[in-house]
Amino acid sequence: MPSKTEQVTKSISMVAVKDLVPHPKNPRTAPSKAHAAELLRSIQAKGIRVPLIVCRHPTLKDRFEVLAGHRRLAAAKAAKLKTVPIIVEVLDDKEALEFMVAENVEREDLHPLEKAAGYQALLDTGWDLDSIASRFGKTPALIARRIQLMRLIALSLHYTTQREKRKKGCRIFHL
């Protein structure tokens, strides 16, 4: 962390939209159509005013993974922009994941299941409940409940789809 007297300057670059890919572990899913349409209109009228935060793609040369600004990237594509402003962060996979979760977890429009997915991703990379709770100012019990909710929904979906598959299989034999 820089001292109070140390100046930190991050440069803003313009990069081709085609060279940006959404980070696969972004806890945020698709925004509502109303928010997406509103953002698209804003970008069409004024362009992108806040740079996207990216890191270099781990395997694709000259490509970047978006850490913050996924909705802006989607709107830029819809608006057929050729380039967008970016700030490049140098982060390893764990730091990038923490950055994305931190960037999104306090948003009002983030669904509790999306928050849970972010917390689960941190658990999957070696974090424990107490560390996650401390980092994000939550209680370990809240983090555990969110993750449990996500797991229960996934389990319910699994059993529902299995039951539907069995029903379809039985129908084939009762023709």
Tens of pLDDT along 24-66?
Answer: 888 776 666 777 788 888 888 888 988 999 999 988 888 999 9
Q: What pLDDT is stored for residue 163 in this prediction?
A: 67
- Grade residue 15 by pLDDT with cuts at 50, 70 and 90: very high
Q: 84, 86, 87, 11: which is closest to 47 by C-alpha?
A: 84
pTM here is 0.73
Q: What pLDDT is stored for residue 5 in this prediction?
A: 47
Annotate 13-23 with b (16+ C-beta within 10 A) or e (fewer): eebeeeebeeb
Q: How far apart are CA 79 and CA 43, in angstroms?
A: 7
Q: What pLDDT is stored for residue 133 in this prediction?
A: 93
Q: How far apart are CA 122 and CA 17, in angstroms?
A: 28
Average pLDDT, the chain: 83
Q: Which residues are paired to 22 by β-bridges?
A: 66
Residue 13 main-chain phi, psi, to 5 deg: -120, 160
Q: What pLDDT is stored for residue 151 in this prediction?
A: 85
State which H helix or E strand residue 99 sits in. helix 93-105
